Structure 1
Amino acid sequence: MSSNGVLALGGCSISVGRIRAGQQITVLRNGDHATAYDGDGDALGHLTLDLTKRYQGKLHDAA
Structure 2
Amino acid sequence: MYSFDPAINYGPNDAGVSAFSIAIVLVGILVGSWLLGAAYGFIANSIKSINEPENKEK
Q: TM-score range by the shorter chain?
A: under 0.3
Larger radius of gyration: 2
Higher normalized helix content (fraction of residues):
2
Q: Which has the higher strand share?
A: 1
- Greater RCO, 1 or 2 (C-alpha within 8 Å, sep 6+): 1
TM-score by length of 2: 0.16
- TM-score w.r.t. structure 1 length? 0.15
